[in-house]
Structure 1
């Protein structure tokens, strides 16, 4: 490797590090993606869930192809989405814990099998069962497009957000009123 090649590698590493810092400034809702059936189940915490289309209802999630969840989603062509509430930080940490694998992540917590057989977490703000419509593989990740098979919506309104490397609670009763008082009207936004 020449000095010029070494410089390019170091520059690329620095750009990736800075990119991660930039992306930490983007707040993201916290969800757990679940996959598998029977005893062969797993799940992972994500902030990459987003709506793709309302008509027809489609969502997408970006998942590292090395993650155990990816292989189960690819094999079964089904997955669950569990949108977490502000009181579920421990659950988010559990499903991002690299020491726990597969079914271990579900031990000691309340969950159930959805109508399609996908594991779903009790007490989530919302749960969604999806069938894989398409997986678009790019670089280290697969962009999984899901069509909705069914969903359940809680009456609770207290979300969990990941921002700047930490979990942040959003409580409907206090935080939304505070945000409404300090928000800038769209017409004046830059």
Structure 2
């Protein structure tokens, strides 16, 4: 057995490094405030939760501006980005680019006025049914009230994937 000789680093630092090795699809979590304005941010921390009832969950840092919007509205959309949306990723990752997030040519309006990304691999429109604070984040649990898929589905492009702190290209999904 080989002795571990690496200099000890804080767990938070090694934990962050370990997560960079996990490929993750990128989604835009979005919501609508009481005045009707749309808010959103790019996330890799979204996942399906249950088939019955159909539900999704997303983890949002409590310091993120969208956190209070989701909390107050009780609704969010999860828009799974395709590679063709790579140009939007920076706008949804940087607060100084908020004015470039919801350009009219990229978005349409779903139930409850929620933003739906045109050409998304899928958009799940969710009503918040529970929220749980943990560490710096709140995990919002949403019951899926509507799903929007590409039309036609056979034309579905490759997902936008994040790995080691950068976007990576993947092959388009194989149709069976």
TM-score (norm 1): 0.79
The residue that corresponds to 2:80 in the other structure is: 83
Whether contact under 8 Å (2:46, 2:57) holds in the other structure is yes
The residue that corresponds to 1:19 in the other structure is: 15
Tell me how far apart the structure 2 counterparts of residues 126 and 69 of structure 1 sit (CA, whole Å): 20
The residue that corresponds to 1:181 in the other structure is: none
Secondary structure in structure 2 of the residue aligned to 1:87: helix
Q: Deviations over 1:73-124 (max 9, x none)?
A: 00000011110112211112211122123x6521364211112211111111
Structure 2 residue runs without a partner (length 5+) = 1-7
Whether contact under 8 Å (2:130, 2:141) holds in the other structure is yes
Aligned runs of 1:37-76 on 2, under 5 Å?
Answer: 37=33, 39-76=36-73
Q: Give the CA RMSD over aligned residues.
A: 2.0
Aligned runs of 1:164-183 on 2, under 5 Å?
Answer: 164-172=164-172
Whether contact under 8 Å (1:57, 1:148) holds in the other structure is yes
Secondary structure in structure 1 of the residue aligned to 2:84: coil
Structure (1 or 2) with the larger CA radius of gyration:
1
TM-score (norm 2): 0.85
Mark the CA change 1:14 to 1:98 in structure 2 (over 3 Å): closer, same or farther.
farther
Query: In the comparison of the two structures, how many residue pairs are matched?
Result: 163
Structure 1 residue runs without a partner (length 5+) = 1-10, 178-190
Secondary structure in structure 2 of the residue aligned to 1:75: helix
The residue that corresponds to 1:159 in the other structure is: 159
Tell me how far apart the structure 2 counterparts of residues 167 and 136 of structure 1 sit (CA, whole Å): 30
